[in-house]
Every structure is written in C-alpha cells, then in structure tokens.
Chains A and B, each alone.
Chain A
Amino acid sequence: TQLLEQSPQFLSIQEGENLTVYCNSSSVFSSLQWYRQEPGEGPVLLVTVVTGGEVKKLKRLTFQFGDARKDSSLHITAAQPGDTGLYLCAGEPAYGGATNKLIFGTGTLLAVQP
C-alpha cells in the first residue's frame, strides 16, 4: 500500500517565522505535487516536481523532491496569515498500480497568527 505521511500534523506559528513540512513514503513516486486547501474549498495546486533532487521556488515557498523520489519537503519563509490552510502532498506511484491514481498525504494544518 502506497502511503504518504506528512509531518507535522498541526502547526501554529507567528507571522514572520519560517517552517518546513515533510512528506515521506517508503514507495517511489513518478511525480509529486503540493496543494493548499482552504476551508470550504477544494485543494489548489501549488507545484509539481518530477525529478529526484529537484528544487522549485514559488515566492516564499521552496519545494524539494528527494533524490530517491520517496519524499518531499515544503519550506515557507517569513510566513504570513494568508498562508494559513491545509497543505497536502500528493504523488503518482511509480510502480504497482494505475498510473492515473493520485495518492494524497495525511495533510498538515498550518495556522499563522498575526
């Protein structure tokens, strides 16, 4: 069973702090995506990483895909209240299943206090 574990599960920080969210698995993924979901809405795609070791930056957000394509991290610099939401990683399994199936992580709920 492919499983994506995220840590931490909950995070409450002050505006201006930095944070890192981790997404780990024992399975290999062809690609990995990060989403943010706000209350009452569906997840919105932030980034897709496809190459082991790849690093992508989106303003204050930095995403990294592990060399072995089994894990990923999201780092936010100088967090702002607008970053508040549920952060989800999601991967396309590289082996042993329909390649159209997206496996979602367990989620990290981030609250940034002003």
Chain B
Amino acid sequence: ETGVTQSPTHLIKTRGQQVTLRCSSQSGHNTVSWYQQALGQGPQFIFQYYREEENGRGNFPPRFSGLQFPNYSSELNVNALELDDSALYLCASSLSPGGSETQYFGPGTRLLVL
C-alpha cells in the first residue's frame, strides 16, 4: 500500500509568483485535505476536497485554490505569493470526509518565498 506522497519536497519562489503543489492520496482514499504549517506552529486547515469538489475551507484568501482529479490526487495552487506564504504545506488523505476520520499525512512541501 502506497502512502501519501507530495511533490516537490522543497521550493523557492519570489513574491508575486505562482506555485502549484501536488499530492497523491493513499490507495482507496477519496478525500484530501491541505494544511499550512508555519515554523514551530500547528498546521492550519486550508481546504478539503472530496470526490473532486471542495468540501470545506479554512480562513485563507481566494488566491489559495485547489483541484482534485478523478484518481483523487490533488493540487494546491497559490497565486501572487507573499512572504508570509513561506511554510510547510501538508496534504492528508482519508477514507471519507469528517474531522474524526483518520487522516494520513504526506511529508510536506517546504515553500520559501523571497
């Protein structure tokens, strides 16, 4: 059974640029959630995708957007990057939506915005 994978592992961008992060969910999981984790803090919920539709969103501006594909893999897109967007971006997959459902996290993509 393949776990959750994310790409790339590290990324450096400059202010104003756009970035796309990718996540492959664990086999059999139809739900992917994205989180932003600043250094030394807990992850913050960005949004969740369930069966290719957005299924809940945290307190992030519209320049954070996402997609989920028929194979349940997912992308996180961030436009007009700001310095504060520098963080570890985690995706987690689960068998179904719901906060109590066990979420399996990938290793994350570390984004640095200069």
Contacts and interface: CB of A to CB of B under 8 A. Distances in A.
A100 B92 contact: no
Interface in B55-107: 55-58, 90, 92, 97-100, 102-107
B62 to A, nearest CB: 17
8 contacts: A33-B100, A40-B107, A42-B106, A48-B100, A100-B97, A102-B99, A102-B103, A104-B35
Contacts of B90: 42-43
A92 B56 contact: no
A103 B45 contact: yes
B99 A92 contact: yes
A101 B111 CA distance: 23
A33 B105 CA distance: 14
Contact of A42 (B4, B40, B99): B4
Nearest to B94: A100
A107 B42 contact: yes
B40 A107 contact: yes
Contacts, number: 72
B43 A104 contact: yes
Contacts of A88: 42-43
A40 B6 CA distance: 12
A101 B102 contact: no
Interface centre among B43, B44, B45, B107 (most CB of A within 10 A): B43
Nearest to B45: A101
B42 A104 contact: yes
Given A50-B100, A104-B43, A43 B58 contact: no
A40 B55 CA distance: 28
A98 B56 contact: yes
A92 B55 CA distance: 15
A100 B55 contact: yes
B105 A43 contact: yes
A106 interface: yes
Contacts of B102: 45, 48
